[in-house]
Each structure stands twice: as structure tokens, then as C-alpha cells.
Structure 1
Amino acid sequence: MATVLDLQPIVSLDRGQFYQLCQNNPDLILERDPEGKLIIMSPVGGESGAQEASLIFKVSLWNHQNQLGIVFSSSTIFSLPQGGDRSPDVAWISRNNWEKLAPAEREGFPPICPDFVIELRSKSDRLKPLQDKMLEYLKSGLQLGWLINRQQKQVETYRQNQPMEIINFPVKLSGEDFLPGFSLSLD
């Protein structure tokens, strides 16, 4: 379960200060929402960690075969155009969009929204903050996103300019036009 700290009455962290806070506290998993609230993420358990690793592997294998972009782990924080600094469980950026960034931008928290993300709801995660995070990605330029909700055996699919779609397990998800040929089966 994430802990949210509202520092606004005391201090407002800009992107540079947030980056420095993360560098000074490498053992903490931190995010920052668009309002500047600091989010301290809990580590995940074995089941969630294994499932997250499997998802990263599957997207990475597809990407290795197709060479269309770059895959990122949940340790990567993206400075989103809408103001938040977020780390999805799995992220992918097209090679074309990644190459638009300067080398210095690629080195820190990249100032870009991934084209594709997967968020995996763990047992300790509340659903509403994850749904808000997915909407934040959409507002920042996300093309396709999946919120995998194992507790309710559902996937919420997010696409630009379309309503969110809920799909029940079992399901075979398609990467559509954004990740051509990629599919993911969930039982």
C-alpha cells in the first residue's frame, strides 16, 4: 500500500528537488503526483514480483524480436508532461520517441510519457489510485495501457480518445497498432 505525503503546507518539491531526494534515498521507492504530493510505494511480495518480472520479460522478448522501442522496468521514473513523476510496472517507448530525447534527458528521469504501460495491482494496492495513475498517463500522452487487476480478475484497457474498457479473465490482450504482433494471455 502506498503512503501519500502532502508536503505543500511546508515545502513544494520541484522536479530537480524530487530527483535529488530520490538520489539521496535510493532504498525508497518514490513517486510524485501532479499536485506535488510525495508517494512512498511499498515493496511487493513474491507473487507480485514474479508476475511483474514475467510481464517485463514478455514485453522485452517481443521488443527484442521487433526492435521497435525501449522497455523499462518499474525502477524507472518518468517525468510526465502533466507534472507527475511516475514509475509504471512495465513501460515501453517507441524508438522514434526515445531518440527525440537528448542524452542528458535519457540519463535522469526521462521527461516523456511512455507509449505503453502495464500496471499490476498487488494485494496491498487500492484500485482508485491506480486508476487515477492510468488517467494521468493518458493525459500525458499514453497510447495504450493495461491495469491488470488480479483480485477482480479483470483488465482495464486505456487508449487515447476512447472510454476505458474492462475485460474479464481469461483474456488474450493485443498490443494493437502500438505493439504490432504482441499479445498477452491472462488466465
Structure 2
Amino acid sequence: MVQTFTQLETISLEVPNSIALTVTGDQFEALVFANPDLRLERTAQGELIVNPPTGGESSSRNLSISGQLGNWCETHEDLGEGFDSSGGFILPNGATRSPDASWVSRARWEALTAKERKGFVPLCPDFVSTLQTKMREYIDNGARLGWLIDPQNRRVEIYRQQAEVEILANPTELSGEDVLPGFVLNLRRVWR
């Protein structure tokens, strides 16, 4: 199904943080298609979030993490599918989020219809790498493993289902554990 939108006159609008803009799922989808250059997300309450572009250092680190995960996905393609930061997931709580890097097991991916695979994926990834404010939401919605990587302090918070957050100081690598078997993220490139 191809959706077309008539070209509307656009205006710039500055919205203070104290004002929340809410949109339905359908309105959110229309906004995303009308604004492909913006990184938009939607909370479970329908609040619209506009994510600004990252700076050079953050972008470089994100590329390293996504690249290493992508290489692992290529050699373990039978296990599942990996996604970059532009992939949108509709979580069970109704939020539409885009983690920095993510992965979904093959069984869960293949259980989706072709239509579900093409649009925002209606499930929570098994693995995510994202910001702290979003990490708890992913874990609460079914992510089995999450990494919050803090390059300024060379610290990693590891999130797992029904477990306390594990904090590592200056690790050189991270294991994908049983969620991403055999995947090891080399943090030396991320810390530089």
C-alpha cells in the first residue's frame, strides 16, 4: 500500500517544552511521511517527540555500535534482524520509538505479516541500545537486553528483564549474552 499526501503549505512552529503536542497513531504516521528528514517519536500517551540530530562525536560512536551489530547480524542472519536508528517500533504500551540500534529474533520477525514488516514494526525489540530515559520503557515492554553507553564517563548500564541494572566502569567490550549469542561490542572504538 502506497500512501500519498497532498502537498500542504508548511510553517515553522516553536513549541515550548511546557506544551505537549499529542497525536493519534494515524496522525503520527502522517507526520512521519510528511517530514522524512525529522526524527519523530510518540510516547504511550500520544505526545509527539522531535529528536534533534546528534553531534559529530555521538554520530561517530553510534556508527561504530551499529556497524559492529550490523556485522554480527550479517554472520548470524539465521538468528534475527538488526535495525539502525531510523527503524520505528510500536511498543505494546502504544509508544512508537526508535532505539539507536536494535535486534529482533528470527521467530518474532517471521511471525509478522509483510505489511507489519514494511511499516512501524508492532513489537518491542529483543535488544536495544538507547538513552536512559527510554531504556526502562523498552525493558518494561519486553526487551530482553539493553545497553546504555555513557562515553563521557566511560560507563555502561546493562538492563535485563527482572534484574537490577548492572553498571560497568570503563569496560573494553560488552557481551550480547544469550540474546545476541557470540556478539561482542568492542568499546575501544567507542571510548576514543
User: TM-score w.r.t. structure 2 length?
Assistant: 0.84
Q: CA RMSD in A?
A: 1.4
User: TM-score w.r.t. structure 1 length?
Assistant: 0.86
What secondary structure is seen at the aligned counterpart in 1 of 2:104?
A: strand
Kept after mapping to 1: 8 A contact 2:39/2:51:
yes
Partner of 2:119: 108
Q: C-alpha separation between the residues in 2 aligned to 1:152 and 1:141?
A: 28
Q: C-alpha separation between the residues in 2 aligned to 1:96 and 1:70?
A: 10
Q: Moved runs in structure 1, 4+ residues, more than 2 A?
A: none
Measured after TM superposition, the shift of residue 185 of structure 1 is 2.6
Q: How many residues align?
A: 171
Measured after TM superposition, the shift of residue 30 of structure 1 is 0.6
Structure with more strand by fraction = 1
Measured after TM superposition, the shift of residue 97 of structure 1 is 0.6
Partner of 2:55: 45
Measured after TM superposition, the shift of residue 71 of structure 1 is 0.9
- % identical equivalent positions: 48
Kept after mapping to 2: 8 A contact 1:80/1:86:
yes
Q: Which has the larger radius of gyration?
A: 2
The C-alpha deviation readout for 1:79-113, integer Å capped at 9, x for no partner, is: 11112111011011111111111111111101011
What secondary structure is seen at the aligned counterpart in 1 of 2:177?
A: coil
Kept after mapping to 2: 8 A contact 1:63/1:71:
yes
Kept after mapping to 2: 8 A contact 1:170/1:185:
no
Contiguous gaps of at least 5 residues in structure 1: 120-129
Partner of 1:177: 178
What secondary structure is seen at the aligned counterpart in 1 of 2:153?
A: coil
Letter in 1 for 2:101: V
1:19-98 to 2 correspondence within 5 Å? Answer: 19-67=29-77, 68-98=79-109
Measured after TM superposition, the shift of residue 54 of structure 1 is 1.4
Letter in 2 for 1:182: F
Q: Give the structure, 1 or 2, with the largest relative contact order (CA under 8 Å, sep 6 or more).
A: 1
Measured after TM superposition, the shift of residue 132 of structure 1 is 2.7
Q: C-alpha separation between the residues in 2 aligned to 1:96 and 1:170?
A: 32
Partner of 2:134: 133
The C-alpha deviation readout for 1:43-102, integer Å capped at 9, x for no partner, is: 012221121111111111111112211111101111111121110110111111111111
